[in-house]
Chain A
């Protein structure tokens, strides 16, 4: 099936699922490179996107509490990975990191 045909087949399905699209980030935010990137993405993205992580500016002690809370809430983290995960978040999203600047939603022209 050509890409165009596939799109034509999928379009009605997608059109019928606006709520799904409305909840899906069109511009995904990724976690930064590092040995724990893949495991962090898998553990966290089950419930929320990376954006909620990358805006934090927390101490190592605060990251420890967050990681342990999220494990209790269902994040799948091997016990052997816990400390590395905390280290990864603390190194990338510590208090000394630059201020996080959020993106904006697009202009919904119907509102104009």
Chain B
């Protein structure tokens, strides 16, 4: 067990003080004694999908800012977080199909040029709980998504230093997750082309602070525009492979049917492909589902994102999809980040309304009425909706 003292003592300087304060500055035991809800240091009012292993969802109403505060950022762990992390002893190895395999310390990593990417990170299973029929897995609602600014060296700088051989085609990430039982380890790979992209990082910071342990301290992959599972946390090994990594979390995990499947239909593994980039999607963040509203001027707010593509437009319907009106996109804009949007709604009469939002991206993709059904409930992106009541 790592104690506060040796955790501080082994940290390579003040750079970790912020993370430490965030990670353990609050006494969980006291919170446990005095409160009736689960206390997770550094996390605030999050929906508990699982406490052990830790899976926390952002309530939709928290998505008010373009950058999601870290204390409201969702957490998705497949395994248990590392119980001990010694920054001084931590090494990241780069090996496999390379000329000069090596390992780099955190101090050395921090000396490399840092690159920042503002990225909307979304769990592939976000919205799984909305699928019909139900599929197994963490039953995420709408909030396994958030936007953060991630910083650290470019992955390609680390790979170029090792010299990728011509046989190298995929890059594998292994983290320090603690694997229980005979559960297969959480190891995944991405194609070399994406690994060499200037925006793919080995991130050490998030929103200007050292990564929280929940988000992968001391370093994580950041594969922008792709499903969260591509961005392996607690990174300890990078290995260049001549083919896609073969393991549970590459197959049968994280795959989509090659052709449309009927809801509930089984899909053969050979008829699937890996889930990579996110789809086009919008989210109504206000008003809340079920809200009772007063007045005749109601601002509808939300977010829209499209993985590696840009949002072209967002439209809103207040008559169950018969007519659609354009929403105004917010000014904040980054390549892989969501756009805020607003629609000034003026309901003409009181009553019950269904408010819908539909995003279209620069690749011409439009949010569908119904999600693309698949046996694991990935990439749910049906048109969003809230039901509200406008009072007299």
Interface residue A17 (Cβ < 8 Å from any Cβ of B): yes
With both beta carbons as reference points, the residue of chain A lying nearest to B52 in the complex is identified as A49
A46-74 near B? 1/0 per residue, CB < 8 Å: 11110110011111001001100000111
With both beta carbons as reference points, the residue of chain A lying nearest to B36 in the complex is identified as A27
Say yes or no: B180 contacts A108, CB within 8 Å. no
Contact A20:B134 (CB < 8 A) given known A48-B52, A52-B50, A105-B40: no
A68-107 near B? 1/0 per residue, CB < 8 Å: 0000111100000000000000000001000010111111
Q: How large is the interface on B (under 10, 10 to 19, 20 to 34, 35 or more residues)?
A: 35 or more
Which residues from chain B contact A25 at a C-beta distance below 8 Å?
38, 51-52
Say yes or no: A56 contacts B134, CB within 8 Å. yes
A95 CB to closest chain B CB (Å) equals: 6
Contact A106:B38 (CB < 8 A) given known A16-B3, A18-B28, A21-B32: yes
Say yes or no: A62 contacts B136, CB within 8 Å. yes
With both beta carbons as reference points, the residue of chain B lying nearest to A103 in the complex is identified as B48
How far is A105 from B80 in the complex, measured between Cα atoms in Å? Answer: 18
With both beta carbons as reference points, the residue of chain B lying nearest to A100 in the complex is identified as B139
Say yes or no: A22 contacts B134, CB within 8 Å. no
Interface residue B24 (Cβ < 8 Å from any Cβ of A): yes
Interface residue B13 (Cβ < 8 Å from any Cβ of A): no
B135 CB to closest chain A CB (Å) equals: 7
How far is A107 from B50 in the complex, measured between Cα atoms in Å? Answer: 17
Say yes or no: B180 contacts A104, CB within 8 Å. no
Which residues from chain B contact A73 at a C-beta distance below 8 Å?
181-184
Interface residue B191 (Cβ < 8 Å from any Cβ of A): no
Interface residue A23 (Cβ < 8 Å from any Cβ of B): yes
Q: List 17 A-B contacts (CB under 8 A).
A: A14-B29, A17-B3, A18-B41, A20-B1, A23-B81, A49-B52, A51-B51, A58-B136, A72-B182, A73-B184, A75-B181, A100-B139, A103-B37, A106-B38, A111-B42, A111-B44, A111-B69
B interface with A by C-beta (< 8 Å): 1-5, 23-29, 31-32, 35-54, 56-57, 59, 69, 71, 80-81, 83-84, 129, 133-136, 138-139, 180-184, 213
